[in-house]
Structure 1
Amino acid sequence: MELTEHIAELRSRLVRIVIALVAGLVVVFNFSDKLIGMLWKHLFHTDIAMVAFSPTEWIMARLAISLAVAFVVLYPYIIYEIYLFAKPGLYEHERKFLRIFLPFSYVLFLVGVSLALFIILPRVYGLFVRGYLGAKPFLSVKKTLYGVFKVALVFGLAFQIPALSAVAARLGLVNAKWLKEKRIIVYIAVFLLATNVTLDFTGISQLIVLAAVIFMYEVSIHVAKLMEKERMIENKN
Structure 2
Amino acid sequence: MADLVDRARAAVTDRAELPGMSLMEHLTELRTRLIHSVVYLLIGFVVAYIFHERLYGFVQAPLDQLHIDLNFTHPTDGLNLYLKTSLVAGAILASPFILYQIWLFISPGMYANEKRYVVPFMGATIGLFFAGAWFGYRWVLPGAIKVLVLEFGKRFHPILTIEDYTGFFMAVILGLGICFELPILIFFLSLFGLVDAKFLLKHFRYAVLIIFVIAAVICPSPEPTAMCLFALPMLALYFLGVGVAFFVHPNRRKPKEANVA
Note whether the superposition's TM-score is higher than 0.5. Answer: yes
CA contact (8 A) 2:66 2:146 kept: no
Q: CA deviation at 1:211?
A: 0.6
**Aligned pairs for 1:47-196 within 5 A:** 47-131=67-151, 132-133=153-154, 135-196=156-217
Q: CA deviation at 1:9?
A: 1.5
CA contact (8 A) 2:191 2:248 kept: yes
Q: CA deviation at 1:157?
A: 2.1
Q: CA deviation at 1:115?
A: 0.8
Rg bigger for which structure? 2
Q: Are positions 1:218 and 2:239 aligned together? A: yes
TM-score by length of 1: 0.89
The one-character-per-residue Cα deviations of 1:70-123 (angstroms, maximum 9, x if unpaired) are 111111111101111222222111000233232122111111111111122112
Q: CA RMSD in A?
A: 2.2
CA contact (8 A) 1:187 1:213 kept: no
Q: Secondary structure at the match of 2:67?
A: coil
Letter in 1 for 2:200: L
Q: CA deviation at 1:193?
A: 2.8
After superposing the two structures, state which structure 1 stretch, 106-115 or 38-47, moved more.
Answer: 38-47
Aligned to 1:202: 223
Q: CA deviation at 1:161?
A: 1.5
Gaps of 5+ in 2: 1-20
Aligned to 2:253: 231
Gaps of 5+ in 1: none
Q: CA deviation at 1:29?
A: 2.5
After superposing the two structures, state which structure 1 stretch, 1-10 or 190-199, moved more.
Answer: 190-199
For 1:31 and 1:120, the matched residues in 2 are separated by 25
Query: For residues 164 and 192 of structure 1, do their structure 2 counterparts lie closer, same or farther at Cα, with a shift above 3 Å needed?
Result: closer
Identity %: 26
For 2:202 and 2:73, the matched residues in 1 are separated by 47
The one-character-per-residue Cα deviations of 1:124-163 (angstroms, maximum 9, x if unpaired) are 2122342233644210222212122112222222221223
After superposing the two structures, state which structure 1 stretch, 67-76 or 31-40, moved more.
Answer: 31-40
For 1:4 and 1:28, the matched residues in 2 are separated by 36
> What is the aligned residue count?
237
For 2:45 and 2:68, the matched residues in 1 are separated by 27
Q: Secondary structure at the match of 2:237?
A: helix
After superposing the two structures, state which structure 1 stretch, 36-45 or 7-16, moved more.
Answer: 36-45
Query: For residues 98 and 182 of structure 1, do their structure 2 counterparts lie closer, same or farther at Cα, with a shift above 3 Å needed?
Result: farther
Q: Secondary structure at the match of 1:23?
A: helix
After superposing the two structures, state which structure 1 stretch, 201-210 or 227-236, moved more.
Answer: 227-236
Letter in 2 for 1:21: L
Letter in 2 for 1:40: Q
Corresponding residue to 1:35 among 55, 62, 66: 55
Q: CA deviation at 1:43?
A: 4.3
Q: Secondary structure at the match of 1:189?
A: helix
